[in-house]
């Protein structure tokens, strides 16, 4: 698409900003949404001291955001395709920014949980559209590098959430983990209005039935995953949520195979590229989210570091995307995303396994450093090419749908990872002593490493792609003989 071109449907306005502006705006928005996944974790003790509430209430300050985010992602992407991606992006960013201010001003724990849920709604509208807007603005030959930078920023936000939350809580107050979003949002909103071009998807009517089935199914499953360790995996609430959620998602799959214009066309999964990269993303987030959740607690609860000290010591892992992800994006432009993603996931699995091997109540930071570096390099190699592979595995008119589906699967993977690894941890250890924590952490890390290793194997199922093949594809769309394996 030329610098003065229109949207892929021919109905968008002329591009008013450069690809650089699109990269900056979408990266900032993605950073805000990704950061809030884990930023609250290290602030929970301070929130409880200030606002009160039982342990279950505190857990909902994390889960309320994850739940609405995961459930509404595909619907948010569909709204953007139908009514305008820039318009809905600005709407989502406005909701997210306003809800962040409401969270900071919350007078009690119930108000905080409600504000977090509204934050998730804004993020669900905004996040999938960051990729579609970036794809429309950047020429195909340069998308690997652009996605590399976007992936670096998002990866840094996910992994550094505990550090940023801990540092702001320790040196200022817990409210600042939410106030941080407000100036970023107020700066990004006028820039998005002035510098982003409007684009649309297929223009089909919204799939009401598909939206209800997908939202209800994801709600049932994610809610049950969140409550499993609290209520018990055999409790009526959890089992009902899992069963009903699974049935609704089954109906959603059937609907996607038969409907004329479904929310998520199941034919997309006929593409080996689309299926393999989405499975890899799901498994990657299972291993990474669950491991970060437990390791941040290990550094504070067992080794005795403050939240800021723990975050600083994780910088070789959390800061690595800033150095490696842009390079990974360039590599994916030249040799294809498949080998870069597979190597990255393999390194992440090795890093988590390394942690499991060396784990003890007295492990030195020097002993942890190689595992931190390997894990960080692996995560960075994954993020950028994965985004490129998702967006290039479908037609331009379906990129909003693809982005929403991929983000939804990653959020479900994150919730599943925290739930599964916490269940393994609880079954083998606990919080009664440092040794009990290590006894539970070690097998949980092996489960996380196994999930990421499976993600690497899934990435190897991606069809081989060359830089030349990518460069020949206009506007990110790939020919059927290139994409479908």
Three-state SS sequence of 347-405: HHHHHHHHHHHHCCCCCCHHHHHHHHHHHHHHHHHHHHHHHHHHHHCCCHHHHHHHHHH
Q: State the pLDDT at residue 475.
A: 39
pTM of structure: 0.73
pLDDT digits (tens), the chain, 485 positions: 333 333 444 334 434 457 888 888 988 888 888 788 777 777 777 787 788 766 566 667 877 887 788 778 778 877 887 888 889 999 999 999 999 999 999 988 889 999 999 999 999 898 878 878 887 788 877 776 777 777 777 767 766 777 788 788 888 888 998 998 999 999 999 999 888 888 776 666 677 888 889 888 878 887 887 777 778 888 999 899 999 999 999 999 899 888 877 777 788 888 888 888 889 989 998 898 788 878 877 887 788 887 778 778 877 887 777 777 677 777 777 777 788 889 999 999 999 999 999 999 989 999 999 999 998 888 888 876 887 788 777 777 677 677 777 777 887 787 778 778 887 888 888 878 889 989 999 999 999 999 999 999 999 888 865 333 443 444 333 333 333 33
Judge whether 72 and 201 are in contact, CB under 8 Å.
no
* Non-local CB neighbours of 131 within 8 Å, separated by 6+ positions: 26, 150, 387, 390, 391, 399, 403
Please state, as a whole number, how many other Cβ atoms lie within 10 Å of the Cβ of residue 208. Answer: 9
Burial 443-467 (b: 16+ CB within 10 A, else e): bbbbbbbbbbbbbbbbbebbbebee
Q: Helical H runs in 84-207?
A: 85-104, 109-137, 143-171, 176-179, 181-195
User: Could you give the 3-state DSSP secondary structure of residue 318?
Assistant: helix
> How far apart are alpha carbons 131 and 356 in whole angstroms?
35
Q: State the pLDDT at residue 456.
A: 94
> How far apart are alpha carbons 464 and 391 in whole angstroms?
16
Q: State the pLDDT at residue 228.
A: 77
> How far apart are alpha carbons 77 and 71 in whole angstroms?
12
> How far apart are alpha carbons 468 and 116 in whole angstroms?
44
> How far apart are alpha carbons 137 and 7 in whole angstroms?
9
Burial 27-63 (b: 16+ CB within 10 A, else e): bbbbbbbbbbbbbbbbbbebbbebbebeeebbbbbbb
Judge whether 389 and 473 are in contact, CB under 8 Å.
no
Structure tokens at 79: 């709204």
> How far apart are alpha carbons 87 and 91 in whole angstroms?
6
Structure tokens at 143: 């998308």
Judge whether 120 and 67 are in contact, CB under 8 Å.
yes
**Which residue reads 């996040």 in tokens?**
127
> How far apart are alpha carbons 146 and 423 in whole angstroms?
38
């Amino acid at each position: 698409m030329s610098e003065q071109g229109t949207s892929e449907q021919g109905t968008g306005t002329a591009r008013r900003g450069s690809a650089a502006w699109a990269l900056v705006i979408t990266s900032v928005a993605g950073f805000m949404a990704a950061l809030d996944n884990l930023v609250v974790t290290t602030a929970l003790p301070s929130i409880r001291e200030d606002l009160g509430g039982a342990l279950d209430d505190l857990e909902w300050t994390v889960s309320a955001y994850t739940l609405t985010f995961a459930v509404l992602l595909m619907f948010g992407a569909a709204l953007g395709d139908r009514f305008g991606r820039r318009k809905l992006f600005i709407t989502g960013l406005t909701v997210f920014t306003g809800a962040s201010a409401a969270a900071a001003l919350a007078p009690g724990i119930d108000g905080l949980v409600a504000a977090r849920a509204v934050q998730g709604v804004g993020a669900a509208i905004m996040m999938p559209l960051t990729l579609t807007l970036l794809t429309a603005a950047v020429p195909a030959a340069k998308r690997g590098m652009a996605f590399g930078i976007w992936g670096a920023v998002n990866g840094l936000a996910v992994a550094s959430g505990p550090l940023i939350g801990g540092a702001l809580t320790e040196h200022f107050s817990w409210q600042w983990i939410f106030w941080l979003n407000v100036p970023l949002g107020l700066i990004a909103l006028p820039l998005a209005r002035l510098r982003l071009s409007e684009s649309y998807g297929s223009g089909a009517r919204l799939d009401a039935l598909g939206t209800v089935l997908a939202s209800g199914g994801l709600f049932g499953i994610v809610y049950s995953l969140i409550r499993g360790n609290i209520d018990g995996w055999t409790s009526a609430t959890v089992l009902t949520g899992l069963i009903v959620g699974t049935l609704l998602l089954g109906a959603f799959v059937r609907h996607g195979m038969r409907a004329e214009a479904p929310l998520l066309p199941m034919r997309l999964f006929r593409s080996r590229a689309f299926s393999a990269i989405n499975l890899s993303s799901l498994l990657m987030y299972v291993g990474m989210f669950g491991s970060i959740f437990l390791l941040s607690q290990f550094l504070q609860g067992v080794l005795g570091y403050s939240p800021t000290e723990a975050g600083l010591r994780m910088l070789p892992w959390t800061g690595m995307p800033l150095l490696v992800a842009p390079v990974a994006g360039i590599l994916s432009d030249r040799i294809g995303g498949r080998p870069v993603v597979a190597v990255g996931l393999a390194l992440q699995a090795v890093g988590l396994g390394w942690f499991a091997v060396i784990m003890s109540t007295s492990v030195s930071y020097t002993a942890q450093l190689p595992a931190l570096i390997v894990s960080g390099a692996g995560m960075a190699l994954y993020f950028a090419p994965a985004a490129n592979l998702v967006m290039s595995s479908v037609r331009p008119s379906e990129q909003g749908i693809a982005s929403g589906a991929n983000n939804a699967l990653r959020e479900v993977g994150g919730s599943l990872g925290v739930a599964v690894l916490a269940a393994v941890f609880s079954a083998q250890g606990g919080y009664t002593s440092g040794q009990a924590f290590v006894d539970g952490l070690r097998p949980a890390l092996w489960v996380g490493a196994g999930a990421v290793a499976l993600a690497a194997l899934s990435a190897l199922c991606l069809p081989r792609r060359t830089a030349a093949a990518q460069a020949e594809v206009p506007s990110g769309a790939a020919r059927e003989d290139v994409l479908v394996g």
